[in-house]
Structure 1
């Protein structure tokens, strides 16, 4: 067991505890609040040698991270930050320097409160920068698609290049899902090697460039490598789709989030996609309604622009 007084805590136990956070989002539900707090503390530990995070800072930074990288919520940013800041204690890796009730914002603001990794966990992480990188890699791999991982890592103060080179040391690697190696090529071909949103179809020496196969329901969140869970998207629109700027309604029309703003002509071109009907070559499997509903609930930000 990982706890503040365990002298026998090992790196495998730490990674097992962090991997267990994945269990909180079974069934396709996204719950990245605790992982974002752990990543924020890992970034702080890597930069300063200590994971101590005052609530006064976590309230703002963690609240912003959850708003940016989590699903849309009716809960305010402060309350959203209070949930993981108080509840992470139950996972055996986090302590607060004074006792406060779960989820309550008032007691957190009444007197200064600081959270940090338990002493045993922090000592192990501080002594092993490679473990920090492996832990961060395991978390972003389990909770975010590859288009978003560098953004998350940069936002918490970790170097994406260092972390994404780290060995993926999630316990029991045999239990991890394997990708279908043929899925990417099949999706790009099904959509005529062009972006389903803007029509970009660049090639170089006859090879398609700048086109990705995008999961509608993320592979990291149990999305299948099925024909009806994929879109061919240019790298820009793939990123915007995974960040929740763009979505697709059940009528197969593209929607632009009302949280998106732009000033330049290039940025404002995204607005022109709003209401555009997906077009594909005959026989292409369109995204399934269940996957589109998942993306709308757990990824798309805010509301769609007015028609």
Structure 2
């Protein structure tokens, strides 16, 4: 089957429309994670078929690792997207079951991408890659997106293939400021705000990055009070919810982090360390710190 350009665009728009479930900056990656898991299975096996017996464990793991902290049980967290994705017109179940109800799912229910959508993606592997890239880039920062793709069985190198031009609703995506990263590094004396790393090569910082506290794809502004200069390791740990900040700019380390070697255990030493920005550097805004605590930080902090 040859897929026309309009058909291909329609397939992408059906999946990109899942972005509308982000509201008021609150993270809701459950449906995109299910869609990505299905895309991974389709790429690996030629079918997106996903029995609940697999999804209950695998989808729950994805939500636990890459979603905000949940107040419901693992199975219940997975049941929400597994049953509710049907309403988006991209997901079907092989029998009718109530929304959010785990019990009936355990009777042997299987889900899969809607038939015409699955056929379109199977016919065009490049289209599948584009769909996965659009989903992961709209719900996760660049530090976390490759980890998500690996977790669902997709190649993280597909992120180098470009980005979607709009958000699925005809709106052009907001591009990050070209001058913001340099301004953030300068404001924090070109050193990691957490550990002080300030490596340079030829006078240019190496391994030092400008990090958004509130992610840019979830409404985070390109303002200095939403930025930190972080080394690449601590940037990733901050975006993965392993590191966080209290209102008084004191670093906290999540109990979910563990390490055995002296180098890994050095992360523990960050717990209780208070940031000391240079005079005149805008402090991280409280609303951005609160967003990070509620939407990104995982688990509970280490004991004092």
TM-score range, shorter chain: over 0.9
Pairwise CA distance, 1:174: 5.3
1:155 to 151, 154, 163: 151
4+ runs deviating over 6 angstroms: none
Pairwise CA distance, 1:8: 11
Note if contact 1:130-1:166 (Cα within 8 Å) is conserved in structure 2: no
1:267 to 259, 264, 273: 264
Note if contact 2:38-2:50 (Cα within 8 Å) is conserved in structure 1: yes
Note if contact 1:133-1:166 (Cα within 8 Å) is conserved in structure 2: no
1:235 matched to 2:232: yes
**Using a 3 Å threshold, how does the CA distance of structure 1 residues 112 and 174 change in structure 2: closer, same or farther?**
closer
2:199 to 202, 206, 209: 202
CA distance in 1, matches of 2:148, 2:80: 19
1:132 matched to 2:128: yes
Q: Residue 229 of structure 2 aligns to a residue in which SS?
A: strand
1:78 to 60, 75, 79: 75
Task: Tell me what 2:30 maps to.
Answer: 33
**Using a 3 Å threshold, how does the CA distance of structure 1 residues 146 and 13 change in structure 2: closer, same or farther?**
same
Pairwise CA distance, 1:168: 2.6
Task: Tell me what 2:54 maps to.
Answer: 57
CA distance in 1, matches of 2:228, 2:159: 28
Provide TM-score, normalisation by structure 2. Answer: 0.96
Q: Residue by residue, what CA displacement relative to the aligned partner does 1:126-163 show, whole Å, maximum 9, x if unpaired?
A: 00001100000100111000000100000000001034
Q: Residue by residue, what CA displacement relative to the aligned partner does 1:155-190 show, whole Å, maximum 9, x if unpaired?
A: 000001034425535446752112111000000000
Q: Residue 136 of structure 2 aligns to a residue in which SS?
A: helix
CA distance in 2, matches of 1:12, 1:75: 36
Pairwise CA distance, 1:223: 0.4
Q: Residue 27 of structure 1 aligns to a residue in which SS?
A: coil
CA distance in 1, matches of 2:6, 2:83: 22
Note if contact 1:52-1:116 (Cα within 8 Å) is conserved in structure 2: yes
Task: Tell me what 2:137 maps to.
Answer: 141
**Using a 3 Å threshold, how does the CA distance of structure 1 residues 166 and 53 change in structure 2: closer, same or farther?**
farther
Pairwise CA distance, 1:15: 1.6
CA distance in 1, matches of 2:270, 2:39: 38
Alignment of 1:243-262 (within 5 A): 243-262=240-259
**Structure 1 stretch 168-177 or stretch 26-35: which is displaced more?**
168-177
CA distance in 2, matches of 1:153, 1:273: 29
1:117 matched to 2:98: no
CA distance in 1, matches of 2:176, 2:161: 19
Q: Residue by residue, what CA displacement relative to the aligned partner does 1:84-139 show, whole Å, maximum 9, x if unpaired?
A: 00000000010000110000001111x21110011110110000001100000100
Task: Tell me what 2:184 maps to.
Answer: 187
CA distance in 2, matches of 1:280, 1:76: 40
Task: Tell me what 1:214 maps to.
Answer: 211
